[in-house]
Each structure stands twice: as structure tokens, then as C-alpha cells.
Amino acid sequence: MNLFLALIIISTYTMVISKRISALINGFMFQSFFLFLLTLFIAAGTNSGELYFVAALILLLKVSLIPYFLSWIVKKLKIEENAGLFINPLLSLIAALSLSYLAYMFATGLMGMYNKPAMISFTISLSVILIGLFIMVFRMKAITQVLGLLVIENGLFLAAVALCGNMPFFVEIAIFFDIFVCVIILGIFVYKINTLFTHIDVGKLTKLKG
């Protein structure tokens, strides 16, 4: 399990240092794939049919459909590959590591060292959530902010699965459906922005006046 958690956080760090949108999408795809493997591992350990079904949904939606849809939007709109970094990759990585350290301090303060596996899971879940928020704030392209939102959701799901072992089945299905619909709507939103303003740089959108 620790191996999958390590792969998830490493793939999250690679997203932070990605300069290209395609690399960011691939990073999300790999992060989701490792989340799928972790869910499958827990499902096998608990023999939970619901978790097997959720793992299949992760593979279908987050590893396949959503990355494909986002890549299609990038190609369709001929979006510039530059992810629009407010700060360079090295400083971004330092910030991400600092957020992980803060998450570790918070997790140890909250849970102590008595249940180390749960503390590690909570630390990585919180790190993924904070780094997703960092991507949303410090990337200028609208589509990168969509990816930041998806990373946050992966962190929340990781916390639910790794700490609680499961969540109510219908809640999981509703969340996956909401995510899929959200990505479709945001994709259309990005398309409309690009059609009206010929770019999706959110920094330039702040200069618009009514």
C-alpha cells in the first residue's frame, strides 16, 4: 500500500513541475492510475465488490475518458502547450514539498505516531489536496485549473479510501457522476472562452471590463 501512496505523491510532484499542458494531463492520468491500483489493492484485501466497481470507474473515467477528453480539447482548440506558470518549476517543487511538510506536521499533531499507516495515508491525501489547490492558484490557463480541481478530488477520494476503507456506495457513484459532468461543463466553458477571446489565459481575463 505504501508503494502506491509513494507513486501517487511522486506523480503529483511531477504535475507541479510540468511546463506543458500535455505533461500535466499525463501526470493526472498516472496519478489516477496509481489511485486505481491502490483501490484495487484495498478491494482485494477487504473482498469488497463495491470497491472493485469503484476501481473500475476510476479506470474508465479518470484514467481513460477524462484525460482523453482534455487532450481532445487541447488539440481541438489548438491551445498553446505552455501551462502558464506563475512561478518556475523549481520554486513550484519547493512549495509542493513545503506543503507536504505542513501536511505531515498537521497529520502527526492530529493523529500522533501510534497509527503510523493511517498517519502516512492522511499526510499524502492532504498533500495531494493542497498541491491541487496550488496548481489551481499558480497556473494561468483555464484548463490547468480544471486539472487542479481534479487533483483535489483525487486527494479527497484517497483520504476516504485509505483512511475509512470505503464510503457509502451511492455517494461514490454520485461523486464520480458529478466529476464527469463537471469536466464536460468546464470543457465547454473553456471552449467558449477560447472562441470569444481567442485564448484561455485567465490572467488576461482579469483585464476585461463590462
**CA triplet 18, 178, 70: central angle to 5 degrees?**
35
What is the DSSP-derived secondary structure letter of residue 43?
H
* Residues 86-112: tens digit of each pLDDT: 788 899 999 999 999 999 999 888 877
- Contacts for 11 with CB less than 8 Å, ≥ 6 apart: 27, 30, 31, 34
* In contact, 24 and 85? CB cutoff 8 Å: no
Asked whether residue 170 carries a pLDDT value surpassing 70, the answer given is no
Compare 205 and 183 and report the one with higher pLDDT.
183
Q: What are phi and psi of 170, to 5 degrees?
A: -70, -25
Rounded Cα distance between 109 and 90, Å, is 29
Average pLDDT over residues 21-38: 91
Which residue has 512549495 as its cell numbers? Answer: 95
Q: What is the pTM of this model?
A: 0.81
| CA–CA distance, 201 with 204 (Å, rounded to integer) | 6
Distance (Å, whole) CA 202 – CA 31? 25
Contact 161, 43 (CB under 8 A): no
How far apart CA 74 and CA 108 sit, in angstroms, is: 41
Residue 69: the pLDDT is 85
pLDDT in tens, 38-73: 988 988 888 878 788 888 888 988 899 889 988 888
Mean pLDDT estimate for the chain:
81
Query: What was the pLDDT predicted at 167?
Result: 62
> Using one digit for the tens of pLDDT, what is the confidence trace for 109-147?
887 767 788 888 889 999 999 999 999 888 877 788 888
**pLDDT above 80 (res 182):** no
What pLDDT is stored for residue 118 in this prediction?
Answer: 82
Q: What is the C-alpha separation between 78 and 80, in angstroms, rounded?
A: 6
Residue 162 or residue 150, greater confidence: 150
Q: Residue type at 163?
A: L
Terminal Cα distance for the chain, rounded: 52
Contact 38, 5 (CB under 8 A): yes
Rounded CA separation 112/192 (Å)? 48
Phi, psi of 77 (to 5 degrees): -90, -5
Residue 153: per-residue pLDDT: 86
